[in-house]
Amino acid sequence: MENEKHHIVPYKVYIYILVALIAMTFMSIGITKINLGEYSVLGAMIFATLKSILVLSWFMHLKFDQPFLRIMVGFVALLFFAVIFITFLDYYFR
Amino acid sequence: MEHVAQHSDPHYDQEASKLGMWLFIFTELLLFGGLFIVYAIYRFLNPEAFQMAGHELNITIGAINTIILLVSSMTIAMSTSALQKKNKGLTVLLLEITIMLALIFLINKYFEWGVKFDHGIWPGSEHLLNDMGHGEVLFFGLYFVMTGLHALHIVIGMIIIIVALNKVQKGTVHADRPSLLENAGLYWHLVDLIWIFLFPLFYLIH
Amino acid sequence: MQTATQLEHEVNYLDYKGKYKGIFAWIFSTDHKRIALLYMYSMLTMFVVGVALGLAMKLELIAPGKTIMDPQTYNAVFTVHGVIMIFMIVIPGLPAVFGNFMLPIMIGAKDVAFPKINLLSWYFYVAGALLVISSVLFGNGTPDTGWTFYAPYSFKSGTNLLPAIFGAFVLGFSSILTGLNFIVTIHRMRAPGMTWFKMPLFPWSLYGTAWIQLLATPVIGITLVLVALERIFNIGVFDPALGGDPILYQHLFWIYSHPAVYVMILPAMGAISEIIPTFSQKHIFGYRAIIVSTLAIAFVGYFVWGHHMFTSGMSGTAQYTFSILTFIVAIPSAIKVFNWISTMHKGSINPEAPFLWAVTFIFVFMIGGFSGLVLGALATNVHVHDTAFVVAHFHFIVFGGVGFAFFGAIHYWFPKMFGRMYDKVWAKVGWAFFTVGFLTLYSPMFYLGMMGMPRRYYDYLPEFHAGNILSTLGSWVMTFGLLIIVINLFRSAKNGAIASINPWNSKTLEWTVPSPPPLENFDEIPVYGEKDGPYEY
Amino acid sequence: MYILSNTTNASNFVAGVDKSFVIIMGISFVFLIGLTFTMLYFVYKYNKNKNPVATQIKGSTKLEIIWTVIPTILVLVMFYYGWAGWAPMRKAPDDSFNIKVVARMWNFTFEYENGKKTDTLFVPMNKAVKLNLHSLDVIHSLYIPSFRVKEDVVPGSEKMIWFIAQREGLYDLFCTEYCGLNHSYMINTVKVMPDQQFQAWYVDTTKRVEVALDSPTENGKRIMKNIGCFACHSLDGSKLVGPSFKGIYGAQHTVITGKDERVVTVDDEYIKRSIYDPNADVVKGFNKGLMLPYQGQLTDDDIAQITEYLKTLK
Ligand code: HEA
Ligand code: HEA
Ligand code: CUA
Ligand SMILES: [Cu+2]
């Protein structure tokens, strides 16, 4: 227990994160309101991804944890997207 | 490489329980992941129907619920900080707020589903099967399954938080043994994380 | 390195008396060794059922037309046979029995990271198994969909599917929890000085396996939930009449079930990687290459599921992508085979029963693997897909692979687990009958498949008769061998000669503790020095 | 090795497929035999009696690379031949002769463009034939081993198989996707005829009605046999997938209509409804959705004859 895992995140930081998250929520609602055609999905998904990165790194402390946890999370995400990608090789080219 | 020292107290290893929780979170992510694959494929196959059906959902309620979950995520995150700062009163308060928010989320969901039911839309309902196209059937099928499963996770999350709250009050979870609270927090953030994706996918497709 | 001989006076795990008495001392025990035996005995029970069903199928197929059962029964029989064998025997098999027993000892820990969760996963196992069995005993008919539960037949079938599906779901939970436990144990509890690259290969293979269990099982969990919801509510997701796509069901099913075949085989390969160096008295050849190939199989194995669906009408792009990826996963398996054989080179080989099993494992695994290559190529797959050829392939590789490795492992670790030695001559006799029977049983199916006999056929055309007779005869020889093996082991567990701490002169840590090991394995956690390692002979 | 003498080159795909068989299995056999003998040789040569002390060798990067690269090349070769044998199966020539295949539990029906319907697949020799696959209920799979073709018949989607039959004769046709009770009886025959003979058969539409037997009961029985009712309904009182026909006419049956249970007397009207719309009244103890509507496949006339036959089953 000698390593720096006792890092305590100040309350202020959490509030900033929350504000950012809520702002992005409204932005993603906004972006789907203006008609961007098929890009609106993309826009909404980009915001969702940014939001989840915030949640993962601060709320879930990944930023302060050992790097191998981050690697694992990245690996799981990668695996999942690869699976979706390969599934689409079927549906997209059918 | 990594720390291999075994613990003097063999029954408490904070890193181990954190790692365990993360691994469990991975399985949850893939559980929903399976549904996201189904969603992605059917959305790809029925783009118009999904957009049409998406209009039936109420963005305002969705947005409110999103914000509720985000706030509750923050309060539970703060509660770990409070615990570490040995501020027991604040920890308990923050956890109570989190539970309240979760409850409000569920109540909202209840009314939201209720409205759908009033419109004759539920899995396998006559209205859905007879008057709507295949794409709509799939959209609502997935909507109920995914939000339903998510709601189930909210309930489980609440139970875990309540247990954690109890232990904080009793003093068995404290600054030196925060694992249970931390894990409850991680789980709660997972629930939030999933909602972050559910919200745009169901409510925001126009 | 310290040894733990000073522990000999301690009570071993079999005789240990705790809070509870009798059977409760077992089913409430969180000791990883007791849980391993709980798993072993419950699997053995299910295994007897599975084998009996297999034999019944073979008896039915000895001649065209009705022999002993009608078609509905036959369909139910292969379904239950498949579900039991896959979900209850070979997926949990080696990890739950030998993983639970040996993993903590091999890495120098007193138990797994979460002993209570470990026990919980055994409860899940039992609950899942009981649910599946209940689908046979109650309700309107035993499930008859095949272990694959393909939509839309799985919504149409009037049989008692829900308990079976739910049972498979619960079994999945058990598997996830075991995997989770192993990963944490390996990360957190290795003995001081045992770096990642000093860890024995069996734990390594369990590590790879655990990741698959963790990341693939939830997908089938949710898929089965969807099937259940579809049956109850008509949500439409896989029902073509409501716009669903039954092929998507197959994708989701195989996204789990292909990686699952590597859940089966990786621990088997791990066990073989322990047995071969021990009986060659030699450092394993290409230690790192074997680790890398384990991880490569685990990883690439996620992306080949589509080879089960070559005739389902996927897009051409998907078909050749899956085909090429399938061939890629074959490479790491090849690397392992080459390394095992090279380990024997210039060794000092002691051909005891475990070693014989290991060598036959390599042989039947190669046959199974090569037939996998035939299945993986597009042109040939179109011809032999869903024929007896596939049945031959997977019995060779699943049961030839996992089964032979299981028998190798039990003969290897038996003296450690029970503190007694089995009769070595009978062990070899059993092995001989079993191997001959095995080859007679499954080899004809390759031929039948290439001639075009479809699988899951209750009845067949007269031209397939000869091969089927031979195959049925083989099943009897093999069962005879199995009986010899099982009787030998059971008798020896009680009455065998007392075994020493390290009868095979092996170098891994489990052979430094008394046989059977004491409750907490080590009195003092062993420490690995610079020069120590699992294969330093 | 894989040469089934009597069916060699029965279709245009045989050569390509068999070639990949020979290549993959050839390479495999070389490795299997080579590695097995090496292994046995080591076991013999380095037995502990002959070689009491092992020489410790930990590995060799060079060897690892060799035995990674060589198998990689070999599997790519295998992939290539597998791909080459399969690629032509993907696209049928535009001038193919089209036949519609309708699969249901548990038979295949072949429908020709001129309205002919058969349960044996008749095809002309040396001419591209395209089978358009349709399923009415669950997934089936159409497999003609001698032609090396197979494709699943998936409800709700359009799939096809094409081939050029190159040898006259009779060939087996199987259903290879498990589809329930009588999966193993979903077997038909392919008859390959020289083009002229085929044309003669094809234009002869009189065969459609086949020998109309004089008695309606016999006719009813024949219709039911051809369309496959007996797969699910027995004549001797035993319960198969559906209720037995024994003593059916005039009997009182409990059925479930929608959600309500009621008792009906089996009469002409009820039988007709049971055939055209089986899910309207579901006999108690049986499952909905298994029997498919035969609307469009059976005429009122056919049903009258079936009913006559059912009356005789006392
Ligand atoms: C333990 C389980 C296990 C394992 C390890 C494997 C391993 C492999 N499997 Fe198998 N498979 C199953 C279990 C398994 N399989 C099951 C249960 C089914 C049927 C499911 C059902 O439908 O019910 C199935 C079905 C199945 C299919 C689908 C068949 C069909 O329905 O059409 C395919 C197709 O590609 C396939 C391919 C392979 C390949 C290429 C490998 C490879 O990983 C094999 C690699 C091994 C080797 C290649 C041998 C060793 C190598 C050497 C000795 C060196 C020399 C090598 C070269 C020159 C390349 N398998
Ligand atoms: C592990 C997997 C496994 C095992 C061991 C077996 C064992 C046997 N199997 Fe099979 N089988 C399957 C998995 C397995 N099977 C699957 C998945 C299917 C497909 C089902 C479907 O189509 O849906 C199938 C289908 C199947 C069919 C095809 C049905 C058809 O398509 O028509 C037949 C036909 O005869 C058959 C026969 C047998 C026989 C005679 C035995 C046995 O009697 C042989 C006896 C076994 C032994 C003597 C010892 C083996 C030892 C071990 C595995 C280790 C023990 C481990 C512990 C005790 C923990 N099995
Ligand atoms: Cu139709 Cu099998
Ligand atoms: Cu596979």
Q: Do A69 and A33 fall into the same domain?
A: no
- Find the mean pLDDT for residues D221-245: 78
Q: In chain C, how many H helices and how many E strands?
A: 18, 2
The whole-number pLDDT of residue D213 equals 52
Q: Which domain holds residue D51?
A: 14-90
Overall domain count for chain B: 1
**In CATH, what number is assigned to the domain containing residue D190?**
2.60.40.420
Amino acid at C443: S
What whole-number distance in Å separates Cα of residue C483 and Cα of residue C475? 12
- From residue C407, alpha-carbon distances to C14, C92, C357, C383, C392 in Å are 22, 15, 7, 34, 20
Report chain D residues whose CB lies below 8 A from the CB of C346. Answer: 46, 51, 54-55, 57
Residue C309 three-state SS: coil
Indicate whether D3 belongs to any domain: no
Which of C349, C454, C458 comes nearest D43 by C-beta?
C349
Contact D165/D125 with Cβ under 8 angstroms? yes
End-to-end CA distance of chain C: 14
**pLDDT band at residue A3 using 50, 70 and 90 as cut-offs:** very low
- From residue C291, alpha-carbon distances to C336, C345, C531 in Å are 9, 20, 20
**pLDDT band at residue A80 using 50, 70 and 90 as cut-offs:** very high
Amino acid at A44: A
Overall domain count for chain A: 2
> Which helix or strand (DSSP H or E) is residue C503 part of?
none
Q: Which of D73, D90, D107 is the last residue of a domain?
A: D90
The whole-number pLDDT of residue B69 equals 92
In chain C, % of residues over pLDDT 70: 97
The whole-number pLDDT of residue B4 equals 39
In this structure, the residue with its CA closest to atom 3 of ligand 2 is C85
Q: Tell whether the model's pLDDT for residue A68 goes beyond 50.
A: yes
User: What is the count of residue pairs from C and D with beta carbons less than 8 Å apart?
Assistant: 264
Indicate whether B5 belongs to any domain: no
Question: Of residues D215 and C531, which shows the higher confidence score?
Answer: C531
In chain D, % of residues over pLDDT 90: 28
Model pLDDT for residues C317-330, shown as the tens digit of each residue: 999 999 999 999 99
What whole-number distance in Å separates Cα of residue A14 and Cα of residue A31? 25
Q: Do A55 and A75 fall into the same domain?
A: no
Question: Does the beta-carbon distance from A88 to B44 stay under 8 Å?
Answer: yes
Q: Which of D204, D233, D253 is nearest to D306 (CA)?
A: D233
Q: Which of B146, B147, B184, B145 is nearest to B164 (CA)?
A: B184
Residue ranges of alpha helices (H) inside A2-93 are 11-33, 39-54, 67-93
Question: Does the beta-carbon distance from B204 to A32 stay under 8 Å?
Answer: yes
Question: Does the beta-carbon distance from C255 to A79 stay under 8 Å?
Answer: no
Whether omega for the bond prior to residue D106 falls within 30 degrees of 0, making it cis, is yes
Whether omega for the bond prior to residue C516 falls within 30 degrees of 0, making it cis, is yes
Q: Do D103 and D165 fall into the same domain?
A: yes
Q: Do A32 and A18 fall into the same domain?
A: yes
Other CB atoms within a 10 A radius of the CB of residue C532 amount to 16
Q: Does D205 touch chain C (CB under 8 A)?
A: no
The whole-number pLDDT of residue B206 equals 66
Report chain C residues whose CB lies below 8 A from the CB of B4. Answer: 188, 190-194
Q: Do A48 and A80 fall into the same domain?
A: no
Chain C residue with Cα closest to B132: C242
**pLDDT band at residue D30 using 50, 70 and 90 as cut-offs:** very high
Q: Tell whether the model's pLDDT for residue D310 goes beyond 70.
A: yes
* Ion ligand 4: residues, CB < 5 A: C 258
Indicate whether B87 belongs to any domain: yes
**pLDDT band at residue C369 using 50, 70 and 90 as cut-offs:** very high
DSSP state string for B27-54: HHHHHHHHHHHHHHHHHHH-HHHHHHHH
Report chain A residues whose CB lies below 8 A from the CB of B83. Answer: none
The whole-number pLDDT of residue A43 equals 82
- Find the mean pLDDT for residues C473-491: 90
- From residue B148, alpha-carbon distances to B137, C421, C474, C524, D110 in Å are 16, 55, 51, 50, 45
The whole-number pLDDT of residue B12 equals 67
Cα atoms in the Cβ-side hemisphere of radius 13 Å centred on D89: 31
- From residue B184, alpha-carbon distances to B166, C322, C428, C451, C520 in Å are 12, 40, 54, 59, 30
Instruction: Return all residues near B47 (Cβ < 8 A) that are at least 6 apart.
Output: none
- Find the mean pLDDT for residues C56-72: 84
End-to-end CA distance of chain B: 50
Q: Tell whether the model's pLDDT for residue C3 goes beyond 60.
A: no
The whole-number pLDDT of residue C159 equals 79
Indicate whether D225 belongs to any domain: yes
Using alpha carbons only, how large is chain D's radius of gyration in Å?
28
Overall domain count for chain D: 3
In chain D, % of residues over pLDDT 70: 93
What whole-number distance in Å separates Cα of residue C431 and Cα of residue C426? 8
Q: For an interface test with B, which of A4, A58, A70, A76 has the most B Cβ atoms less than 10 Å from its Cβ?
A: A76
Question: Does the beta-carbon distance from B196 to A52 stay under 8 Å?
Answer: yes
By DSSP bridging, strand D121-124 and strand D169-175 are unpaired
Indicate whether B19 belongs to any domain: no
- From residue C302, alpha-carbon distances to C168, C213, C219 in Å are 20, 11, 12
Q: Which of C242, C291, C365 is nearest to C535 (CA)?
A: C291
Tens-binned pLDDT, residue by residue, of chain B (206 aa): 333 344 444 556 788 888 999 999 999 999 999 999 999 999 888 888 888 888 888 888 889 999 999 999 999 999 988 888 888 889 899 999 999 999 999 999 898 888 888 887 777 777 777 777 788 888 888 999 999 999 999 999 999 999 999 998 888 887 788 888 889 999 999 999 999 999 988 888 76
What whole-number distance in Å separates Cα of residue D87 and Cα of residue D79? 12
Q: Do D55 and D130 fall into the same domain?
A: no
Is the CB–ligand 1 distance for residue C330 below 6 Å?
Answer: yes
Q: Do D242 and D274 fall into the same domain?
A: yes
Contact D81/C377 with Cβ under 8 angstroms? yes
Q: Which of A39, C233, C237 is nearest to B39 (CA)?
A: C237
C-contacting residues in A 8-47 (Cβ below 8 Å): none
Q: Which of C509, D246, C70, A30 is nearest to B59 (CA)?
A: A30
Q: Separation of C82 CA from ligand 2 center, angstroms? A: 7
The whole-number pLDDT of residue D258 equals 74
Least confident of A84-93, B107-116, C517-526: C517-526
The whole-number pLDDT of residue D1 equals 34
Indicate whether D272 belongs to any domain: yes
What whole-number distance in Å separates Cα of residue C344 and Cα of residue C357? 14
Model pLDDT for residues C206-259, shown as the tens digit of each residue: 999 999 999 999 999 999 999 888 888 878 888 888 888 899 999 999 999 999
Q: Tell whether the model's pLDDT for residue D239 goes beyond 60.
A: yes
Helix axes C353-376, D61-86, angle to 10 degrees: 40
Q: Separation of C387 CA from ligand 1 center, angstroms? A: 15
- Find the mean pLDDT for residues D105-122: 85
> What phi and psi, each to the nearest 5 degrees, are found at residue B64?
-60, -45
Q: Does B85 touch chain A (CB under 8 A)?
A: yes
Q: Do A11 and A49 fall into the same domain?
A: yes
Q: Given a contact as 3+ CB pairs under 8 Å, which chains touch D?
A: C
- Find the mean pLDDT for residues D95-101: 91
Helix axes B14-45, C201-233, angle to 10 degrees: 40
Q: Do A37 and A51 fall into the same domain?
A: yes
In this structure, the residue with its CA closest to atom 32 of ligand 2 is C456
Residue C59 three-state SS: helix
Q: Tell whether the model's pLDDT for residue D240 goes beyond 80.
A: no
Q: Separation of C452 CA from ligand 3 center, angstroms? A: 15
Q: Which domain holds residue B78?
A: 28-203
Q: Do A79 and A52 fall into the same domain?
A: no
Is the CB–ligand 1 distance for residue C265 below 6 Å?
Answer: yes
Q: Tell whether the model's pLDDT for residue A7 goes beyond 90.
A: no
Average pLDDT taken over every residue of chain D: 84
Q: Do D74 and D18 fall into the same domain?
A: yes
Q: Do A51 and A70 fall into the same domain?
A: no
Model pLDDT for residues C178-194, shown as the tens digit of each residue: 999 999 999 988 888 88
Q: Nearest CA to CA, how far is A11 from chain B (Å)?
A: 6
Rounded to 10 degrees, the C-alpha dihedral A35/A38/A39/A43 comes to 90
- DSSP designation for D291: S
Instruction: Return all residues near D78 (Cβ < 8 A) that are at least 6 apart.
Output: C327, C373, C376, C377, D20, D23, D24, D27
Q: Do A12 and A56 fall into the same domain?
A: yes
Question: Does the beta-carbon distance from B73 to A55 stay under 8 Å?
Answer: yes
Which residues face C476 on adjacent strands?
A: none
- Domains of chain C and CATH, by start: 27-512 (1.20.210.10)
Q: Given a contact as 3+ CB pairs under 8 Å, which chains touch C?
A: A, B, D
Q: Tell whether the model's pLDDT for residue D57 goes beyond 70.
A: yes
Indicate whether D285 belongs to any domain: yes
Instruction: Return all residues near D15 (Cβ < 8 A) that are at least 6 apart.
Output: D9
**In CATH, what number is assigned to the domain containing residue B37?**
1.20.120.80
Q: Does B36 touch chain C (CB under 8 A)?
A: no
Nearest ligand atom owner, CA of C300: 1
Q: Which domain holds residue A36?
A: 1-60
Question: Does the beta-carbon distance from A76 to B29 stay under 8 Å?
Answer: yes
In this structure, the residue with its CA closest to atom 24 of ligand 1 is C394
Amino acid at C133: I
Q: Do D155 and D109 fall into the same domain?
A: yes
Question: Does the beta-carbon distance from B138 to C251 stay under 8 Å?
Answer: no
The whole-number pLDDT of residue D247 equals 82
Which protein residues touch ligand 2 with a CB less than 6 Å away? C 43-44, 47, 51, 54-55, 57-58, 61, 78-79, 81-82, 85-86, 89-90, 93, 97, 146-148, 391, 395, 398-399, 402-403, 406, 455-457, 475, 478, 482
Question: Does the beta-carbon distance from C251 to A87 stay under 8 Å?
Answer: yes
Q: Which of D133, D123, D127 is nearest to D93 (CA)?
A: D127
Nearest ligand atom owner, CA of C381: 1
Chain D residue with Cα closest to C344: D42
Q: Does B44 touch chain A (CB under 8 A)?
A: yes
Report chain C residues whose CB lies below 8 A from the CB of A91. Answer: 315
Q: Tell whether the model's pLDDT for residue C2 goes beyond 60.
A: no
Q: Which of D244, D252, D248, D242 is nearest to D289 (CA)?
A: D242
Question: Does the beta-carbon distance from A55 to B84 stay under 8 Å?
Answer: no
Question: Of residues D174 and D301, which shows the higher confidence score?
Answer: D174
**pLDDT band at residue D280 using 50, 70 and 90 as cut-offs:** confident
Least confident of A19-33, C105-119, C268-282, C517-531: C517-531
What whole-number distance in Å separates Cα of residue C170 and Cα of residue C147? 15
Indicate whether B21 belongs to any domain: no
- Find the mean pLDDT for residues D115-143: 89
D65: which 2 tokens? Answer: 């690379």
The whole-number pLDDT of residue A82 equals 93
What whole-number distance in Å separates Cα of residue C260 and Cα of residue C216? 8
Is the CB–ligand 1 distance for residue C319 below 6 Å?
Answer: no
Q: Does D172 touch chain C (CB under 8 A)?
A: yes
Which protein residues touch ligand 3 with a CB less than 6 Å away? D 106, 140, 175, 177-179, 183, 186
